[in-house]
């Protein structure tokens, strides 16, 4: 796998009816040997907002520049940090 780059900033988690956050985020994007791209990263913010994002249906991370990427939050910790994988293309990659 080859690291293609990273995005970081402050954004929000969007769900069908909510805008949660703000969260500081970092997204890393990788290209696998077969040409597929994958991404994942971390969130840091308020625990209650993170828990609501973890429970949300089809969450998307709204990036600082206004773009967005669909994500799956894989871990939500009581200190307000979380981990996610991307489930859609990452703008710029």
Cα–Cα separations (whole angstroms), residue 68 to 14, 15, 23: 9, 12, 13
Q: What is the pLDDT of residues 38-51, one digit of tens each?
A: 999 999 999 999 99
* Residue 16 pLDDT grade (very low, low, confident, very high; cuts 50, 70, 90): confident
11, two tokens: 């954004």
Q: What is the pLDDT of residues 36-93, one digit of tens each?
A: 899 999 999 999 999 999 999 999 999 999 999 999 999 999 999 999 999 989 999 9
**C-alpha closest to that of 56 among 25, 18, 12, 84:** 18
Say what the pTM is: 0.92
């Amino acid at each position: 796998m080859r690291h293609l780059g990273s995005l970081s900033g402050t954004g929000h988690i969007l769900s069908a009816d909510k805008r949660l956050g703000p969260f500081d985020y970092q997204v890393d994007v990788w290209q696998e040997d077969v040409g597929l791209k994958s991404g994942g990263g971390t969130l840091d913010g308020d625990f209650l907002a993170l828990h609501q994002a973890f429970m949300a249906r089809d969450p998307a991370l709204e990036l600082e520049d206004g773009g967005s990427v669909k994500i799956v939050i894989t871990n939500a910790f009581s200190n307000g940090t979380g981990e996610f994988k991307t489930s859609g293309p990452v703008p710029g990659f």
